[in-house]
A and B are shown apart, each in its own frame.
Chain A
């Protein structure tokens, strides 16, 4: 019996061990180390000096950087709202459509998922360029006479973020709306609810877990995605993602980059905790 137990322990270690070890070595350890680096400082050559201090976090509170953080949060929040508003009707219609239309609509949203997001952003560059489709359409309709500058503006960054993140919101929303029992809606109708009231009092509250699921998938990437800001904003739009990446590449200020990373890590964790709290409160 004892030897059987030991061999079972051995086989458990052999099978689960490698993945555990990998995750600890290449995930847990680097994260702990980056937290440690955020409390260090650097010398004039950009090397890390291992003396614990709060210097990097003090830099973080400088006006310029606080402004970048604030602007990023505002941008991510606005993008999340826009994405939700655009994704909601689509997810709702999909959940109410016949089986055939439903599966077509889901495939419609899945295919962009498979296409590299970088390529989709490049496609947006074509789309919004001086002689791209948007300008051509607007000129064709006689709304504008000369092509307008869309690419390399903040508007283009918003468009790119919303465009690439919309599928992330449709999926969780759809799977949430799909589960609503039609009998509940019928009961509401029988009790004299109008469609608007039914939506406000029944459908929307029931879809909140879906929105929360999408929130994490939209808000967090919107803070980090530096290539969207780079490619579509023409380097004029700086978000936290750009700031962190420049600290680790050109500026060579790792402790400051690490402090920024820790700050947004905490932010992301808070969002995930809120999401879990809402999900728990809403399960019945």
Chain B
């Protein structure tokens, strides 16, 4: 028996959503504001976007981000998919334990992961670079991919694999021709989630990034400390468009992968 919401609850919900979205909407609106200061609206302009797109440091940061997040996502999907398939195919003692062990890097505060990896790089004399960022990101993105693919495999009908084996497929062919094609939605949605995590991470990246390897998150972090800027509004707006579209795609893929496994 679901009841209709009363007027008090509707007011509460609307107020809640208003406070949640007002700052974001305001930032997007101000990215088109002609005035440099935050003193009210003074006409529409594209100039902050033009300034942003001609800024070299932003371009470098965007390229660095694509490299770092792209590579971390790819590696996370690969490692996660392999492990998930292994979990699907084999039963062994301590499997549940290993399962929870794999998730610990996502529970541990991102910052502690950052400082401990920094210490590791220091003792191994590995200079900080894009590679050190990628290693750190894979460490906390991999469990996300592993989880997504594992959930998809749990709902997978084993009789299809058996049928393929009866028809003469060997183990590798079963994986390549039966499992993998069915796992693509889960791999993509897990990968998108990993990409989002990697894109937005500051607390880990702060410690493991070399001075030249500024990613977009680190760039915004640096600029934010200096105060507000219209170009930063524009950059934020662009990033919001990208991440929200990624989120929508992710949700659609997830729905599809759930529908597939049913």
Contact = CB atoms under 8 A, between A and B. Distances in A.
Interface in A20-60: 20, 22-23, 26-27, 29-31, 33-34, 37
B111 A244 contact: yes
A66 interface: no
Contact of B232 (A16, A111, A122, A268): A122
Decide if the interface of chain B is mainly helix, strand, loop or mixed: helix
Given A264-B112, A272-B107, A15 B244 contact: no
A204 interface: no
B82 A118 contact: no
B104 A27 contact: yes
Chain A binding surface, main DSSP class: helix
A257 to B, nearest CB: 6
A63 interface: no
Contacts of B236: 119, 122-123
Interface stretch (A67-75, A89-97, A207-215): A89-97
A224 B114 CA distance: 12
Contact of A15 (B89, B115, B224): B89
Contact of B82 (A15, A31, A182, A231): A15
Interface in A108-160: 108-127, 129-133, 136
Contacts of B135: 26
B160 interface: no
A19 B19 CA distance: 42
A22 B82 contact: no
Contact of A118 (B26, B87, B104, B221): B221
A89 B116 contact: no
A112 B27 CA distance: 14
Interface stretch (B51-59, B161-169, B182-190, B197-205): B197-205
Contact of B116 (A18, A115, A261): A261
Given A15-B83, A123-B26, A225-B203, A23 B20 contact: no
A127 B24 CA distance: 9
B38 A131 contact: yes
A131 B37 contact: yes
A230 interface: yes
A217 B89 CA distance: 33
Given A12-B92, A115-B240, A231-B224, A248 B115 contact: yes
A11 interface: yes
A122 B115 contact: no
Contacts of B259: none
Nearest to A221: B109
Nearest to B192: A114
B119 A133 contact: no
B154 to A, nearest CB: 16
Contact of A96 (B2, B142, B221): B2
Interface residues of A, number: 83
Interface in A225-276: 225-227, 230-231, 241, 244-245, 248-249, 254, 257-258, 261, 264-265, 268, 272
B109 A220 contact: yes
Given A26-B120, A118-B224, 10 more contacts: A22-B79, A22-B142, A31-B112, A98-B4, A110-B247, A116-B200, A223-B109, A224-B110, A227-B221, A227-B224
Interface of B: 1-5, 9, 12-13, 16-17, 19-24, 26-27, 30, 37-40, 79-80, 82-83, 85-87, 89-90, 92, 98, 101-102, 104-105, 107-113, 115-120, 123, 135-136, 138-139, 142, 146, 171, 196, 199-200, 202-203, 206-207, 217, 220-221, 224-225, 227-228, 232-233, 236, 239-240, 243-244, 246-247, 251
23 contacts: A15-B82, A19-B80, A22-B142, A23-B105, A23-B139, A26-B120, A26-B136, A97-B5, A108-B20, A112-B20, A114-B196, A119-B24, A125-B228, A126-B26, A127-B23, A182-B1, A182-B2, A221-B109, A224-B111, A224-B112, A227-B203, A248-B207, A258-B115
